[in-house]
Chain A
Amino acid sequence: MQNSLMLTPELIARIDREIAKYPVEQKQSAVMAALAIAQEAAGWLSPEAIEAVASYLEMSPVAALEVATFYNMYDLKPVGRHKLTVCTNLPCMLSGGMHALEYLQEKLGIGLDETTPDGKFTLKQGECMGACGDAPVLLVNNRHMCCSMTPAEIDRLLAELD
């Protein structure tokens, strides 16, 4: 089946580890993790990837699409190599979250939800990441949280990311 080509044996093994967390008849519980794994592998979630996940978990494609569109961290369009999500919610805002976003926009020459022409950076505004004591925070590729960002810290981060 063509869909299964999207999920390599390595990805399948990772998804299987997630499926094992839930009762045998509840494979669908692994859909969030499986979509995250598929997204990580391809950089974004294409309709084909969503279908492949749905088919592997024996759920309807639309049910998987519902999940993919409901949760903020899934990318349904291609993003740059490094997706930077800046929290601008109130506690971060009080410590410069909005200013960090403004600084990044200027530095990268792009607006919100845009990607630099070289495909390196995508800029997003995020909602509360539960890290307000380290404000302002930003998240790199859904994974790595950068804390207490200052202009100098942001410069350093941008230089480090290739």
Chain B
Amino acid sequence: MAILGSINPILTAGLDGDRSWRLADYVARGGYSALRRIIAERTTPEQIIAEVKKSVLRGRGGAGFPTGLKWSFMPRTLPGDKYLICNSDEGEPGTFKDRDLLRYNPHAVIEGMVIAGYAIGATRGFNYIHGEIWELYQRFEDALAEARAEGLVGKHILGGDFTFELFAHHGYGAYICGEETALLESIEGKKGQPRFKPPFPASFGLYGKPTTINNTETLASVPFILNMGGDAFLAAGKANNGGPKLFSVSGHVERPGNYEVPMGTPFATLLEMAGGVRGGRKLKGVIPGGSSSPVLSAELMMDCTMDYDSIAKAGSMLGSGAVIVMDETTCMVKALERLSYFYYEESCGQCTPCREGTGWLYKIIQRIENGLGRPEDLDLLSSITGNIMGRTICALGDAASMPVQSFLKHFRDEFAYHIEHGRCLVPREVQRAGSGFFTASA
């Protein structure tokens, strides 16, 4: 089980067995009671949106946009098809929370989607699932079949007037499809290249129809908000940062995995829950919100609490809650080289600054890592990032630039050492031992 710990869990409460994903188990945990109440009491969409606004649920995919507000942008009464999309295309290095939600609590996602569909007046929904987790795509299909058989999805849900068809769409390996308009292109059967905004999906989305896209964890939170009340959900987190959050902790910790804790939990507590730094070694740096968020030094990070505001104040972003922990055995040049390769590989190629710029960033960092760096390279890297940021259709260019800028800001000495001495400050055998691969027991 990869949900390894929690404080006052909500989304992961009671998930303690192989069968927790089943409909019967979900119902036994109180599942589908929110949807049943809505249909029986004919709750209005306005009431649902008001409750979600009250909860201050903010989008869990990385942007942190208030969910209730997003829903209110939909032209609900406009005739014709409207769509709801669940974004489960989770491929930002460090992030693996939605995978566990789909694995252990897919019906919470389904119930959340049906309620969201009801609130925004959608006729059809799709859950776009990351290509590499085919086994969980299959599980979601199985969970959907269970829900359909019980009349919880499809025509006249639970005998009421609301009809909402829901399907799973399987991705096939493109990070960019996590960007919401690229995802829409992908569902339309095209290359996943982001669209210009505006128009925003709420007016021109899937097949040109009004569309709302929410993250998996966001949608899975909805039934719980409606059951416990928006105020109680907000109180489970901290002001302006409602609810609990799943944090994916990876890298150099003893127990990598998902942890559900209230927003505002000190980073030190989360680190301790994850068993602390691997082998009792010294913490070096932390990427607090997925690979696109700026890295922070150990000192800065140890003073943070895990919420949008605290992490932003420290100069980074909470993003998707993906905490990548790096200890003293990490070569920061090597780490950045790998991240930069990722953005180079995943740039969709549409905008020149990103397509060319990510390649240049990677090549320069690669030559620094390989002892061929030039004294002017650090300024060159800064200049390239400055010319990518804000000059592209989507945020991938910014996402590729922020790690470069932040690694240079917090670990500049290490880059300078590489350039000056042609080798790493951290001996190669120390780095090798740090991964633990060759010493792992069967």
B92's nearest neighbour on chain A, judged by CB, is A128
Q: Which of B96-133 contact A (CB under 8 A)?
A: 96, 98-99, 124, 126, 130-133
Min CB–CB distance B32 → chain A (angstroms)? 23
> How many angstroms from the CA of A70 to the CA of B82 in the assembled complex?
27
Contact of A30 among B98, B189, B207, B249 (CB under 8 A): B189
> How many angstroms from the CA of A32 to the CA of B342 in the assembled complex?
22
A151 x B437 contact (CB < 8 A):
yes
Min CB–CB distance B198 → chain A (angstroms)? 23
> How many angstroms from the CA of A98 to the CA of B432 in the assembled complex?
10
Q: Which of B241-295 contact A (CB under 8 A)?
A: 248-252, 256-258, 287, 291
B130 x A135 contact (CB < 8 A):
no
Does B172 reach chain A (CB closer than 8 Å)?
yes
Instruction: Write the B71-113 contact mask toward A (1 if CB under 8 angstroms, else 0).
Output: 0000000000100000000111111101100000000000000
A96 x B435 contact (CB < 8 A):
yes
Segment of A4-12, A21-29, A76-84, A112-120 engaged in the interface with chain B? A21-29
B256 x A145 contact (CB < 8 A):
no
Contact of A128 among B2, B91, B98 (CB under 8 A): B91
B170's nearest neighbour on chain A, judged by CB, is A33
A135 x B346 contact (CB < 8 A):
no
Contact of A132 among B131, B171, B248, B438 (CB under 8 A): B248
A70 x B437 contact (CB < 8 A):
no
> How many angstroms from the CA of A35 to the CA of B186 in the assembled complex?
13
With A89-B338, A91-B93, A150-B440 as given contacts, are A130 and B98 in contact (CB-CB < 8 Å)?
yes
Residues of chain B contacted by A158 (CB below 8 angstroms): none
Does A59 reach chain B (CB closer than 8 Å)?
yes
Residues of chain B contacted by A57 (CB below 8 angstroms): 189
With A29-B189, A133-B250 as given contacts, are A94 and B326 in contact (CB-CB < 8 Å)?
yes
Min CB–CB distance A129 → chain B (angstroms)? 4
A36 x B172 contact (CB < 8 A):
yes
B189 x A96 contact (CB < 8 A):
no
B135 x A94 contact (CB < 8 A):
no
Tell which of A21, A23, A59, A89 has the most Cβ of chain B within 10 Å.
A89
B441 x A131 contact (CB < 8 A):
no
Interface size on A, residues (CB 8 A): 55
B190 x A129 contact (CB < 8 A):
no
Does B54 reach chain A (CB closer than 8 Å)?
no
Residues of chain B contacted by A93 (CB below 8 angstroms): 334-335, 338, 435
Min CB–CB distance A119 → chain B (angstroms)? 23
Does A1 reach chain B (CB closer than 8 Å)?
no
A131's nearest neighbour on chain B, judged by CB, is B96
Min CB–CB distance B109 → chain A (angstroms)? 15
Residues of chain A contacted by B345 (CB below 8 angstroms): 127
Does B394 reach chain A (CB closer than 8 Å)?
no
With A63-B190, A132-B94, A139-B132 as given contacts, are A127 and B346 in contact (CB-CB < 8 Å)?
yes
> How many angstroms from the CA of A66 to the CA of B185 in the assembled complex?
12
B186's nearest neighbour on chain A, judged by CB, is A32
> How many angstroms from the CA of A142 to the CA of B137 in the assembled complex?
12
A90 x B99 contact (CB < 8 A):
no
> How many angstroms from the CA of A88 to the CA of B168 in the assembled complex?
28
Tell which of B172, B187, B438 has the most Cβ of chain A within 10 Å.
B172
> How many angstroms from the CA of A22 to the CA of B356 in the assembled complex?
36
With A29-B187, A66-B191 as given contacts, are A130 and B437 in contact (CB-CB < 8 Å)?
no
Residues of chain B contacted by A136 (CB below 8 angstroms): 437
Residues of chain B contacted by A88 (CB below 8 angstroms): 338
> How many angstroms from the CA of A127 to the CA of B176 in the assembled complex?
12
Does A48 reach chain B (CB closer than 8 Å)?
no
With A130-B91, A134-B2 as given contacts, are A145 and B251 in contact (CB-CB < 8 Å)?
no
A126 x B132 contact (CB < 8 A):
yes
Does B219 reach chain A (CB closer than 8 Å)?
no
Residues of chain A contacted by B171 (CB below 8 angstroms): 32, 71
B135 x A72 contact (CB < 8 A):
no
A133 x B249 contact (CB < 8 A):
yes
B170 x A32 contact (CB < 8 A):
yes
With A30-B189, A130-B98 as given contacts, are A153 and B442 in contact (CB-CB < 8 Å)?
yes
Residues of chain B contacted by A30 (CB below 8 angstroms): 189
Instruction: Write the A61-74 contact mask toward B (1 if CB under 8 angstroms, else 0).
Output: 00100110011111
A133 x B81 contact (CB < 8 A):
no
Contact of B170 among A36, A94, A135 (CB under 8 A): A36
Instruction: Write the A88-116 contact mask toward B (1 if CB under 8 angstroms, else 0).
Output: 11110111111110010000000000000
19 A–B contacts from the bound complex (CB under 8 Å): A22-B187, A23-B124, A32-B172, A32-B189, A59-B189, A66-B191, A70-B191, A73-B132, A90-B251, A90-B287, A90-B342, A127-B342, A130-B90, A130-B92, A130-B98, A130-B130, A131-B133, A132-B248, A132-B251
Residues of chain A whose beta carbon lies under 8 Å from any beta carbon of chain B: 21-23, 26, 28-33, 35-36, 57, 59, 63, 66-67, 70-74, 88-91, 93-100, 103, 126-136, 139, 142-145, 150-153
Give 8 closest A-B pairs by Cβ, nearest first.
A96-B437, A72-B173, A152-B442, A28-B189, A73-B173, A129-B132, A96-B435, A150-B440
Known pairs A70-B192, A95-B437 / 4 extra A-B pairs, C-beta < 8 Å? A71-B192, A90-B251, A94-B324, A134-B96
Residues of chain B whose beta carbon lies under 8 Å from any beta carbon of chain A: 2, 81, 90-96, 98-99, 124, 126, 130-135, 167-175, 186-192, 207, 248-252, 256-258, 287, 291, 322, 324-326, 330, 334-335, 338-339, 342, 345-346, 348, 432, 434-438, 440-442
